[in-house]
């Protein structure tokens, strides 16, 4: 009897494989997150089983690693996938390229699991919301790969990207994922929310193009209000742009049209869309905003 082995040399890369590997270059993902994200691709997956089969093939081909999250939910602890060095070089189309961070291919420490799951969900939702409105996500930088020099200690956003609208307008954003593990107001801790806001403001006043920072909160509405209150202490002189937007992650994830859902908060306004100034361009109807989220 002849046994045929699946080897790296026999792997036939598909266009959908390119999409999977490119997505994993942005952040680790579960099969469920790949399934959701695939609706933005030219060849979406139609079932979770098909995703799991393809992820297994890519793992066998040496393109991916997988581990289990320590955090559990419906269905138990899920596998999350990361690129291998070979997978990263496939994405970059460069056999000599090195990883952007030292732990880019490593297993995530259990203490970071909750943070990573929330951040990955935010990123997937951002791409889905952009696709729905014909908006492109460009210039994406994964966690800890975009350095902002702003005084004694640099900032490393959890993500950095630009939304490029069909009319040519571009909106850059940095993302800070908040799991209630840091102080909101502290003048001693460099990791406090207030300290980060102050350093972002130092950078914003010298940047030629304005940008916003989104604080995505996994905690309670009380924490959101506390962060909004602290943001009110920071203003850019002679600039009307509100530099900090705060949103509960669950609110952001609950609707397919997340950019135009009035779930964001700033010191000047509560319950506003992220792209409210662009509502007329997209002809938002109130009935559309009440449409049930896609499953």
Of the candidates 136, 133, 143, 142, the residue with the CA atom closest to the CA atom of residue 162: 136
Q: Tell me the C-alpha distance between 254 and 263, whole Å.
A: 10
User: Residue 111: which residues within 8 A CB-CB, separation 6 or more?
Assistant: none
Higher pLDDT, 142 or 232: 142
Q: Tell me the C-alpha distance between 276 and 293, whole Å.
A: 20
Residue 271 is predicted with a pLDDT of 92
Average pLDDT of the chain is: 87
User: Domain total for the chain?
Assistant: 2
Of the candidates 251, 252, 234, 236, the residue with the CA atom closest to the CA atom of residue 128: 252
Which of 91, 108, 125 lies at the terminal end of a domain, its last residue? Answer: 108
CATH number, residue 230: 3.40.1350
Q: Tell me the C-alpha distance between 279 and 285, whole Å.
A: 9
Residue 113 is predicted with a pLDDT of 95
- pLDDT tens for each residue of 143-197: 999 999 987 789 999 999 999 999 899 999 999 999 988 888 766 666 789 999 9
Q: Are residues 45 and 116 in the same domain?
A: no
User: Residue 46: which residues within 8 A CB-CB, separation 6 or more?
Assistant: none
3-state secondary structure of 229: helix
Helix (H) or strand (E) holding 227: helix 221-231
Which of 108, 140, 165 lies at the terminal end of a domain, its last residue? Answer: 108
Residue 75 pLDDT class (50, 70, 90 cuts): low
Q: Does the pLDDT at position 241 exceed 80?
A: no
Q: Are residues 120 and 165 in the same domain?
A: yes
CATH number, residue 13: 1.10.10.10
Residue 188 is predicted with a pLDDT of 63
Q: Are residues 194 and 259 in the same domain?
A: yes
Beta strands in the chain (DSSP E): 29-30, 64-68, 79-83, 136-141, 159-164, 170-178, 212-217, 244-248, 264-265
What's the whole-model pTM score?
Answer: 0.89
Extract the tokens encoding 172.
């850059």
- Within 13 Å and on the Cβ side, how many CA atoms surround 87? 28
Mean pLDDT for the stretch of residues 221-240: 82
Domain span holding position 142: 112-295
Which of 76, 91, 108 lies at the terminal end of a domain, its last residue? Answer: 108
Residue 237 pLDDT class (50, 70, 90 cuts): low
Q: Are residues 104 and 123 in the same domain?
A: no
Among 53-57, 167-171, 279-283, the minimum mean pLDDT is found in 279-283
Q: Are residues 236 and 264 in the same domain?
A: yes
């Amino acid at each position: 009897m002849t046994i045929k082995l699946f080897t790296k040399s026999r792997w036939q890369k598909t266009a959908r494989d390119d999409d999977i590997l490119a997505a994993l270059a942005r952040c680790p993902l579960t099969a469920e997150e790949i399934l959701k994200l695939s609706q933005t691709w030219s060849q979406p997956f139609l079932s979770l089983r098909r995703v799991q089969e393809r992820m297994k093939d890519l793992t066998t081909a040496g393109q991916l690693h997988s581990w289990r999250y320590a955090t559990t939910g419906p269905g138990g602890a899920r596998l999350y996938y990361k690129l291998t060095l070979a997978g990263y070089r496939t994405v970059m189309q460069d056999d000599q390229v090195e990883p952007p961070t030292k732990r880019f291919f490593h297993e995530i420490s259990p203490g970071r699991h909750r943070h990573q799951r929330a951040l990955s969900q935010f990123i997937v939702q951002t791409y889905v919301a952009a696709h729905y409105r014909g908006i492109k996500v460009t210039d994406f930088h994964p966690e800890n790969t975009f350095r902002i020099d702003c005084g004694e200690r640099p900032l490393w956003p959890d993500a950095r990207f630009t939304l490029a609208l069909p009319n040519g307008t571009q909106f850059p954003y940095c993302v800070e994922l908040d799991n209630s593990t840091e102080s909101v107001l502290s003048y001693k801790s460099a990791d406090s929310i207030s300290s980060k806001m102050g350093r972002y403001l130092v950078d914003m006043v010298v940047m030629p193009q304005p940008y916003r920072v989104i604080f995505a909160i996994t905690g309670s509405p009380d924490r959101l209000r506390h962060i909004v209150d602290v943001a009110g202490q920071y203003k850019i002189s002679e600039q009307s742009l509100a530099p900090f937007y705060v949103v509960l992650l669950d609110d952001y994830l609950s609707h397919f049209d997340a950019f135009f859902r009035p779930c964001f908060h700033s010191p000047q306004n509560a319950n506003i869309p992220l792209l409210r100034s662009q509502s007329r361009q997209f002809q938002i109807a109130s009935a559309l905003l009440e449409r049930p989220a896609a499953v």
